[in-house]
Every structure is written in structure tokens, then in C-alpha cells.
Amino acid sequence: MSLGDQIARNLPYLRRYARALTGSQATGDAFVRATLEAALADSELKQSLEGGRVPLYRAFNKVWSSAYMDVPETVGSDEHEGAAQDRLKSVTPLNRQALLLTTLEDFSPEQAAEIMDISAEDIERLAQEAVSEIDRESATSVLIIEDEPLISMQLEDLVTSLGHDVCGTAATRTQAQEVVAEKTPGLVLADIQLADGSSGLDAVDDILAISSVPVIFITAYPERLLTGDRPEPTYLVTKPFQEQTVRAAISQALFFGSSRPLG
């Protein structure tokens, strides 16, 4: 497989990580582009990317770490992104990196340590500190849009264990509409492909037309959202998922107060 093909295969997931790290699709994509430009300008760096995901994320981390504090505060195009950037300042950047790498991106502590150029023990400590920081968020009501009963129950148990209420569960777009008609959720966990052939994307659009709430997509088909053709969700968890990954995504989404998928 050519280097270009290797990078292309991993690029959607690097962009997902960059969005979650910065709180903005535009800012995250800018850092990803800067990473690729740096590789084109440095033959040694470019050659290192043949090692797969770890060296690609390591290259990104060096670019982000060196320029993070220099990101203009006005980079967001609306009040939503501006609020996310403001909240980001209160969480230690190293903690967020360690948490996202080991949960959202599913790297081992050793791999994350290589990416961040610190020890595996430090990765585990930073990740735990991040969880403690962002778990201070207030409880909210959660709507679960999922057509697999066992997964829906698993998510319900996870949500309640975090101190949140479940305002309803839905297996179809219509059922989601019925739940929202009774109570507007403070957070939505949504699958893409639903029981009756309806779309979780459409169900989320219905909700966002009424009220801006954070949305986390949990799907076996992440490629349907990681196309670059439309604003992509910041919070996207791939099935089969680890509970720790969903927990991190919930904390992140509530921390940013995301009102919609970031554009």
C-alpha cells in the first residue's frame, strides 16, 4: 500500500480526533492540513508516516502542541464555536490529549505515550485527571435513539450510572419525535440506521430544528459521516464500543455544551 493510501485510510479518524481536541471542525482541519504540509516539506517526517497511525498522530501532535496557544479566538464562525473555545481553556490540554487518544482513538497507553512523547504511566495519570475535570458537569436528560434493544439498555445503564436521567428511548425517527414532543433532551445519543429504515441523521435534524443540544452518534458505519462532504459530528463513537469511550464522549459533549455537530 502506498504512503498516500495509508494516510488516506487514517485521515478521517485523525480529523475526528482533531475536531474533538480543538472543539471545532474548521480548527481541527486546519491543524491536519498543517501536519500534511509539514510532511511534504520534510522528507524524514514524510518517510516516518509509513509506520501507520501512531507516527501520523505523533506528527499531528507536534504541530498542534507547538501552535495550540496561537490559535486565534475568532477562528469559530459562530457563537457556538466561540463558546467551545472558551470552555476549552479551562481544561489542561495534555489531559485532553491523553483521554482522547486512549478512548476516542483507542490507542494503548504505550501508543499514546509514543504519540505524546511521555511515559505510559503519565498517559494513564493525565487521562484520569481529564475524567475528573470534565465529570464535574451537571446532570442532564438524555434521549437514546437506538434500534438494538440490548445496546439501548447498555447505553441507558451507562447514562444513569453517570448521574444523568433518560428522558426516553427510540428505535425509529417517529418514536424520537414523540419523545421530544413530551420533553426536550439535554443530550442525544443516536445511531444512524434505525429499525424501520429511517435515519438517525434525520431524527437528529428534527431535534436540532427545535432546540440546540449536544449530539453523539454511535454507529457501526462511521464512514457515512466522515466524508468531508457536509459538517461532520465532533462526537462519533464506532460500534462495537467501549463504555469508557462513550463516557468520555458524553463528558466532552456536555463540557463543550455542543448545540449541534460542529461546522
Cβ 234 vs Cβ 261: under 8 Å: yes
- Taking the alpha carbons of 41, 45, 51, 55 in that order, is the dihedral positive or negative? negative
263 domain-assigned: no
204 domain-assigned: yes
ω into residue 72 within 30 of 0, thus cis?
A: no
Q: Do 56 and 114 sit in the same domain of this protein?
A: yes
Pairing mode of beta strands 165-170, 141-145: parallel
User: Within a 13 Å sphere around the CA of 10, how many CA atoms are in the beta-carbon half?
Assistant: 21
What pLDDT does residue 69 have? 41
Mean pLDDT of each 10-residue bin along the chain, 263 residues long: 87 90 85 93 90 93 73 47 52 83 90 96 90 68 95 95 92 95 93 88 90 88 68 78 87 64 34
Rounded Cα distance, 207 and 132, in Å: 30
Q: Is 168 helix (H, G, I), strand (E, B) or coil?
A: strand
Q: Is 166 helix (H, G, I), strand (E, B) or coil?
A: strand
- For all residues of the chain together, what is the average pLDDT? 83
Domain that holds residue 231: 139-258
Query: Domain boundary residue among 134, 163, 198?
Result: 134
Q: What is the pLDDT of residues 220-235, one digit of tens each?
A: 877 777 665 555 667 8
Query: CA 243, 163, 166: angle at the middle one, nearest 5?
Result: 80
224 domain-assigned: yes
Written as nine digits, the cell of 257 is 455544551
CB atoms under 10 Å from CB of 211, counted, come to 12
Q: What is the pTM of this model?
A: 0.56
Strands across the sheet containing 141-145: 165-170, 141-145, 187-190, 215-219, 236-238
Pairing mode of beta strands 215-219, 236-238: parallel
Cβ 103 vs Cβ 242: under 8 Å: yes
Q: Give me the number of domains the chain comprises.
A: 2
Q: Do 230 and 246 sit in the same domain of this protein?
A: yes
Q: Do 158 and 244 sit in the same domain of this protein?
A: yes
Query: Domain boundary residue among 77, 109, 134?
Result: 134
Cβ 169 vs Cβ 163: under 8 Å: no
125 domain-assigned: yes
Query: Domain boundary residue among 106, 134, 162?
Result: 134
Q: Do 11 and 127 sit in the same domain of this protein?
A: yes
Q: Do 128 and 146 sit in the same domain of this protein?
A: no
